[in-house]
Structure formats: C-alpha cells, structure tokens
C-alpha cells in the first residue's frame, strides 16, 4: 500500500502535527483549506495547498468528493484524516480505498462496528470486556422507565450514535426520567441525526481512563499504556495526563488486555483508543472506542518516546508494528492542557478573532502543538483550539510544576483565552493530589475576574510597534515615509 504523498484532510494543529512527521519521513504533503483558512499555518507548512470551498465545514472539509478530487489532482496516494471531520467516516474511508488511495486509519468495517455505542457495547460484551450494566433494547418510554427502576437510580441516558457529551443526561430519580429522555433524544437527533438513546447504570464520580491501542495488517496488537482524561467540563476533556494516578500495574495490565480484546474483535488496524469508566474500587467498564488518533496523543508520545503518526503511516504501508508489547517503555509523567480561544469569565464563550501577539512556552520537556501564529485568525467556524500545551516530568508533580512554568510563559493577545484558568487548575488541591473525577469541575473553583485593559502589555506592544515602524521609516527613500503610528492605534490594545 503506497504512502509516498499524503493529503491531510484536516486543518489547525493536527494538520500541522501530521505535516511535521511526514516531513521527517521525507514524504511530501498536501493541505486543503476553506475560505476561512487561506492564511492558516497548515497551508503555509504543506508542500502544496488546495482551496476546497466556503468556510462552513459542511461545504468544504466534510465534502468527501472535494477531498478525493484534490487527492487525484495533486497525485496524493494517501489521506490522513486527523481527528474530527472525516476521521470516523466509514463511507469516506471506503471511497478513498476504492479509488486506490490509502486511508491512514482503520478499515471501514471497523469504523462501522464502533460507530454506534450500542453496537460497540455488544462487541465488547462478546469479546469478554467488562461493560456498565445497562438497557439497550428498543423499548417504549414506559418500558425503559420500568427497567431503569429495576436497575436502580441514578442512571445515565446516552445517545446511541453520540460522542463529546452530546445526548447525555444523568437521571437521579424516576420523576426526572420522562423530561430527561425527551431532552436526550432531542439533542441526539439534532447532533447526530438519530434520536436513539440507551440507558446505563450511572457510576457516580467516575474516572475516565483510556487505553491507546495499535494494530497492524499482520495480526499484531499492542497497547501503549493509559491516559486519564477525568478533568472535564460538560463532558469535554480539559486536562489529559499519562499515566493515570489511579491505575496500579495490575489494573494497567488488565485494562490493556481488555482493550486488545475489543481491537482484535473488529480486526482493528492503526491507532485507536478504547475508553473506560473506572470507579473508586478500580473496577473498570468499557465506554466506547474511538477509531482514530486522539487529540491527547502527545502525552502518550511523551511517556513512550514514540511518534504515533509515524506508526500510523508505517502500518498503513502494510509494515509490521515497530515494537512488541514487551519492548514498549513507560517513562515518567506527562500533562496536556487544551488552550482555547474562550472566555472563562463568560461561561467559556468562544473568542474568535485575530491573534495580535503570541509568545509560546519553550524549553526542555515542553511541547506546544499549535495551528496559529501571530497575525493569524482563530475562525468562528471551527473548534476554537489555539494549541495543545504538554509537558513531561519524572513524576506527576514535576510534570504539573513544569506545566505551571510553561503556562506562565504563554502570552496571547487580541483574543480571550483560558491560559489563566489552567494556571489556577494546576494549583487546585484535588487536582494536584490526583483525587479527580469527571464531575470535579461541576463545583466551580474559578473566580470571575474583572476584564479591564492590560495597560502594561498595551504600552509595551505599542512601543515595540513604534520602534519597528521607526526602523522601517529610516530605510525608506526620502519623501516616502508613511504617517501611521502605533500610538495612533493604541486604542486597539485596550481590547487585549
């Protein structure tokens, strides 16, 4: 299976991430971009770039035919989908393959098997992987309520085709069931086009722990330890770390072997993640399988020293996995913070706009996976991620303290962001002690701050612009000097 030129069917930091590994492997890359991404970093980094349509993803990044057309025009013989967009689209993977293009991801049938949470749950049960007790038969509302009462409240309603916390409702008592079911079904329909909902026994204050798995076309499988993603807001991951402070060596082995049972059951090829919920007694239960590279893969790369994108490409080429299970090392601890253009003081409302100033952290054991640069735009049309900041340390607390230092170096101007929120979280005692669970942020610890102008930063930025302008004027021919001054533009810095 040839992989000599890769089209990245994505944007932002993950597109940049894939381009870097391809460059290291000597593989030319092709970027695609929408109207909103004409000046995006991934477009600048790729060897070639092709316009694919309007800003709205449904008219550009999600149009399979446009991606296929660019692959043919550019001569790309492989497509890397990143995550999101087409990464778990079985029909897209099938179409690319039918046209002789290597899909750097799992087989279409594996995506289908894991695409429905109820179907995935059945696969896990048949494979001998523990699952949360639940009801997934087609039943009337009255029948579901009766069965839920038999199982015992609290229960969790979940969209069968769901993800990202959409279509989920915790029901603590029978009186809430009817209204909660209606809301869950409505949200499932609007988000996934399918209002199917199933019921599980709710695990109170669970921990979200996932296992990174890899398979090749030769029947080899390994797991690359675990990540903990329990620090969440509205079921969306905020902090990821590897390994988990909750997992013992015995639990790690049991979870890894359970995850591989699921991977083998669907003949999985490439990078995938089997997600579990764990309780306080270290019982764990299958949640779902993500048939793609995860957002949080950098923390796994930190503790293993491996390049997961490189592994994806090698496996897609038909090569065997580079290492056996016994050869995979676990070294130290890694943390990742998702840096978003959002305003913590306004209920984390997205804050798109131009990045007028950017200084990113650096130094030993610091990594910043970013898709923006100073002067670039965070568009309103997509996920407002600025970067994924990750750090490594020999121990968990050292990784946390390294993260505190890195966050302290981050400077972003022009848009609101959540860097300060992460800094406060790094000092939050329950987090530092490892006593985390998926509901820990339901009890707010963030104190709203008054958002006045940053005068020191504004003055410094204006001074810098004025000095640069003076330098340019000195180099211009006599009589051609401009009249613009950074001080005349000072008002715009009051918005930083």
pLDDT tens-place string over residues 330-384: 999 999 999 999 999 999 999 999 999 999 999 999 999 999 999 999 999 999 9
Q: Give strand ranges (E) for 174-322.
A: 197-201, 207-215, 221-233, 236-242, 270-278, 284-290
pTM of the prediction? 0.84
Contacts of 205 (CB under 8 A, 6+ apart): 280, 437, 438, 439
Q: How far apart are CA 108 and CA 89, in angstroms?
A: 8
Active-site residue flag, 292: yes
Q: What are the chain's domains?
A: 6-104 (3.40.50.20), 133-201 (3.30.1490.20), 207-442 (3.30.470.20), 455-495 (no CATH)
Catalytic residue among 17, 292, 396, 416: 292
How crowded is residue 190: how many other Cβ atoms within 10 Å of its Cβ?
11
Contacts of 335 (CB under 8 A, 6+ apart): 239, 240, 241, 299, 390, 391, 399, 400, 402, 403
pLDDT class for 235, splitting at 50, 70, 90? confident
CA count, 13 A, side-chain hemisphere, 486: 18
pLDDT class for 477, splitting at 50, 70, 90? low
Residue 103 has pLDDT above 60, yes or no: yes
Residue 486 has pLDDT above 60, yes or no: no
Residue 164 has pLDDT above 70, yes or no: no
Question: pLDDT (tens digit, 9 = 90+) per residue, 252-281?
Answer: 999 999 999 999 999 999 999 999 999 999
pLDDT of residue 467: 61
pLDDT, greater one: 48 or 488:
48
Could you give phi then psi for residue 78, rounded to 5 degrees? Answer: -150, 150
Residue 296 burial class via C-beta count within 10 angstroms: exposed 0-12, middle 13-18, buried 19 and up: buried
Residue 224 has pLDDT above 90, yes or no: yes
Mean pLDDT confidence for 437-466: 66
pLDDT of residue 290: 96
Mean pLDDT confidence for 129-157: 87
Mean pLDDT confidence for 159-167: 77
pLDDT of residue 449: 65
3-state helix, strand, coil in the chain (%, to 5): 40, 25, 40
pLDDT of residue 378: 96
pLDDT, greater one: 355 or 489:
355
Place of tokens 């594996």: 110
Helix residue spans in 131-220 (DSSP H): 141-151, 177-192
Place of tokens 């701050």: 449
pLDDT of residue 450: 55
């Amino acid at each position: 299976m040839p992989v000599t030129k890769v089209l990245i069917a994505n944007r932002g930091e993950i597109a940049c991430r894939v381009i870097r590994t391809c460059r290291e492997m000597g593989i030319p890359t092709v970027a695609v971009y929408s109207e909103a991404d004409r000046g995006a970093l991934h477009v600048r980094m790729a060897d070639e770039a092709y316009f694919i349509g309007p800003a709205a993803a449904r008219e550009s990044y999600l149009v399979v035919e446009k991606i296929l057309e660019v692959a043919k025009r550019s001569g790309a013989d492989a497509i890397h989908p990143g995550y999101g967009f087409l990464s778990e689209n079985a029909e897209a993977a099938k179409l690319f393959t039918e046209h002789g293009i290597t899909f750097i991801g799992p087989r279409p049938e594996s995506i289908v098997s894991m695409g429905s949470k109820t179907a995935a749950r059945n696969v896990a049960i048949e494979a001998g992987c523990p699952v949360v007790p639940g009801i997934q038969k087609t039943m009337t509302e009255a029948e579901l309520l009766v069965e839920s009462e038999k199982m015992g409240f609290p229960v969790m309603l979940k969209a069968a085709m769901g993800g990202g916390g959409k279509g989920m409702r915790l029901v603590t008592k029978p009186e809430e069931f009817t209204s909660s079911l209606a809301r869950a079904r409505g949200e499932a329909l609007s988000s996934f086009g399918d209002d199917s909902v199933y019921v599980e026994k709710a695990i109170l204050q669970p921990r979200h722990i996932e296992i990174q798995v890899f398979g090749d076309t030769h029947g080899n499988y390994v797991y690359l330890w675990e990540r903990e993603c329990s620090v969440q807001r509205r079921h969306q991951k905020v902090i990821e770390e590897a390994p988990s402070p909750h997992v013992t060596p015995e639990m790690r082995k049991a979870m890894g072997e359970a995850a591989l049972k699921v991977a083998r059951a669907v003949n999985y090829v490439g990078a995938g993640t089997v997600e579990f919920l764990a309780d306080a007694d270290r019982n764990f239960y299958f949640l779902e399988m993500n048939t793609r590279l995860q957002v949080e893969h950098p923390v796994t790369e930190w503790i293993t020293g491996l390049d997961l994108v490189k592994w994806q490409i090698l496996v897609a080429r038909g090569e065997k996995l580079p290492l056996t299970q016994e050869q995979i090392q676990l070294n130290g601890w890694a943390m990742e913070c998702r840096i978003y253009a959002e305003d913590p003081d306004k209920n984390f409302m997205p804050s798109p706009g131009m990045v007028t100033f950017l200084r990113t952290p650096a130094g030993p054991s610091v990594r910043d996976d970013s898709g923006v640069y100073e002067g670039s735009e965070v568009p309103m049309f997509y996920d407002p991620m600025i970067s994924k900041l990750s750090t490594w340390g020999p121990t968990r607390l050292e990784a946390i303290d390294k993260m505190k230092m890195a966050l302290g170096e981050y400077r972003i101007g022009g848009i609101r962001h959540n860097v300060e929120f992460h800094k406060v979280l790094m000092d939050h005692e329950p987090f530092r002690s490892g006593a985390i669970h998926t509901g820990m942020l339901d009890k707010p610890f963030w104190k709203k701050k008054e958002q006045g102008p940053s005068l020191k930063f504004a003055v410094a930025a204006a001074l810098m612009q004025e000095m640069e302008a003076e330098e340019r004027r000195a180099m211009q021919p006599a009589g051609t000097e401009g009249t613009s001054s950074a001080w005349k533009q000072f008002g715009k810095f009051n918005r930083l």
